[in-house]
């Protein structure tokens, strides 16, 4: 596992350099989820692939940019990753990220054994979730990630990141979001789940929601590359990740690019979500 985390550090440094120096334009292709790719999506995917396939404990890799996994003869762990999440924010110079889920035996929620994400913002930060959740920051002078602190969520936060097209929100979802704002929650939504969830985690709590909607009942975010890794991070930090009804980590993945509605947050907010969604299915 340490070997994989060391590889992810190298990937993060190289992707961060690519973000700073390479073309931010689009390519004439879509990825396996049907999104338009930017050149940096492709470059970042190649960087991650190169280091992960060279890591002896890695058995298989699959990414948001790949249709099918690449499997090796030996190794133990299955790594599912989104090399450049929020890449539509690249051309407006907002923070983006990379997400890695480290699985054993398969890609269901229960198979995830560790999760790592990287935020490329004014600074490069990396969060590693194993038994505990640890924050590291890249020292640009030494090119080393330095340990900063352990991260823990409070029972209740003050900020809210409500995703999905509001026009298509279910009425009970809209009412719940309105109620949070009436309670005094403040809006924090950049359109990049990595910085948005990082903010909630570092500020100690709140709610990030990407619900199912009338036009997309299964939501947008992908289980393997985005949802399970963050559900693991939040759980290990003392928070919760649910699909409105159940713990996200109890869900199965029907295919590599399967999506699910998802809510991440601290105890108070997630209880409100569960109360709201109860009986709505």
Phi-psi label, residue 222: left if phi above 0, alpha if psi -120 to 50, beta otherwise: beta
Selection from Mg ion, ligand AHM, none that 25 binds (CB < 5 to 8 A by kind) is none
Task: Write the CB contacts of 182 (distance below 8 Å, at least 6 apart in sequence).
Answer: none
Applying CB under 6 A, does 192 fall inside the site for ligand AHM?
yes
**Residues 39 to 78 in contact with Mg ion, rule: CB under 5 A:** none
Whichever of 110 and 202 has its CB closer to ligand AHM, that residue is 202
The conformation of residue 227, written as its DSSP 8-state character, comes to: I
Q: Answer yes or no: are the C-beta atoms of 110 and 118 closer than 8 Å.
A: no
Q: Which does 193 bind (CB under 5 to 8 A by kind): ligand AHM, Mg ion, none?
A: ligand AHM
Q: Where are the beta strands (DSSP E) in 35-155?
A: 36-38, 58-63, 70-71, 77-85, 96-104, 112-120, 124-129, 133-139, 144-150
Catalytic residue flag (residue 35): yes
Best CA proximity match to 4, nearest among 57, 72, 75, 63: 57
The residue among 210, 198, 220 whose CA lies nearest residue 162 is 210
CB of 223 to ligand AHM, least distance (A): 13
Q: From the list 49, 60, 82, 111, which residue makes contact with Mg ion (rule: CB under 5 A)?
A: 82
Residue from 65, 85, 125, 243 touching Mg ion (CB under 5 A): that is 85
Q: Which of these segments, 44-52, 117-125, 148-156, 186-194, binds ligand AHM (CB under 6 A)? A: 186-194
Residue closer to ligand AHM, measured from CB, 75 or 200: 200
Stretch that binds ligand AHM, among 17-25, 81-89, 172-180, 257-265 (CB under 6 A): 81-89
Element (H, E) at 264: strand 262-265
Q: Does residue 138 have an active-site annotation? A: no
Tokens of 52: 């992960």
Cα 238 to Cα 50, 152, 155, 172, 270, distances in angstroms: 34, 6, 8, 27, 12
Structure tokens at 271: 């209880």
Secondary structure element (H or E) that encloses residue 181, with its range: helix 171-183
**CB 248, min distance to Mg ion, A:** 16
Candidate list 45, 85, 111, 125, residue with the active-site label: 85
* Tokens encoding 205: 């709590």
Of 89-148, binders to ligand AHM (CB under 6 A) are: none
CB of 224 to ligand AHM, least distance (A): 12
Instruction: Tell me whether residue 135 is one of the annotated catalytic residues.
Output: no
Residue with smaller CB distance to ligand AHM, 64 or 111: 64
In the complex, minimum distance from the CB of residue 3 to Mg ion, in angstroms, rounded to a whole number: 25
- Structural contact between residues 269 and 176, judged by C-beta atoms closer than 8 angstroms: no
Catalytic residue among 45, 49, 60, 65: 65
Per-residue x/- track, 148-167, ligand AHM (CB under 6 A)? ---------------x----
Pick from Mg ion, ligand AHM, none: which does 231 bind, CB < 5 to 8 A by kind?
A: none
φ/ψ of 46, rounded to 5, equals -65, -40
**Which residues are at the interface with ligand AHM (CB under 6 A)?**
35, 64, 82, 85-88, 163, 191-193, 210, 220
């Amino acid at each position: 596992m340490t070997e994989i985390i060391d590889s992810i550090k190298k990937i993060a440094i190289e992707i961060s350099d690519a973000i700073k120096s390479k073309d931010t334009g689009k390519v004439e292709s879509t990825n396996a989820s049907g999104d338009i790719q930017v050149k940096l999506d492709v470059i970042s995917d190649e960087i991650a692939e190169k280091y992960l396939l060279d890591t002896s404990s890695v058995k298989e890799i699959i990414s948001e940019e790949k249709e099918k996994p690449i499997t090796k003869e030996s190794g133990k762990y299955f790594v599912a990753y989104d090399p450049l999440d929020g890449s539509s924010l690249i051309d407006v110079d907002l923070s983006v990220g990379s997400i890695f889920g480290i699985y054993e035996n398969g890609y269901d929620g229960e198979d995830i054994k560790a999760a790592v994400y990287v935020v490329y913002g004014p600074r490069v930060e990396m969060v590693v979730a194993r038994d505990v959740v640890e924050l590291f920051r890249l020292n640009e002078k030494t090119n080393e990630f330095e340990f900063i602190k352990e991260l823990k969520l409070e029972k209740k936060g003050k900020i809210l990141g409500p995703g999905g097209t509001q026009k298509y929100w279910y009425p009970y979802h809209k009412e719940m979001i309105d109620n949070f704002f009436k309670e005094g929650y403040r809006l924090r939504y950049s359109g990049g789940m990595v910085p948005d969830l990082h903010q909630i985690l570092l500020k100690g709590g709140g709610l990030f929601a990407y619900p199912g909607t009338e036009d997309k009942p299964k939501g947008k975010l992908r289980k393997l590359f985005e949802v399970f890794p963050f559900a693991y991070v939040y759980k290990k930090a003392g928070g919760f990740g649910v699909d409105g009804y159940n713990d996200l980590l109890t869900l199965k993945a029907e295919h590599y690019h399967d999506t699910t509605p998802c809510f991440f947050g601290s105890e108070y907010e997630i209880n409100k979500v569960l109360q709201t969604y109860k009986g709505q299915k």
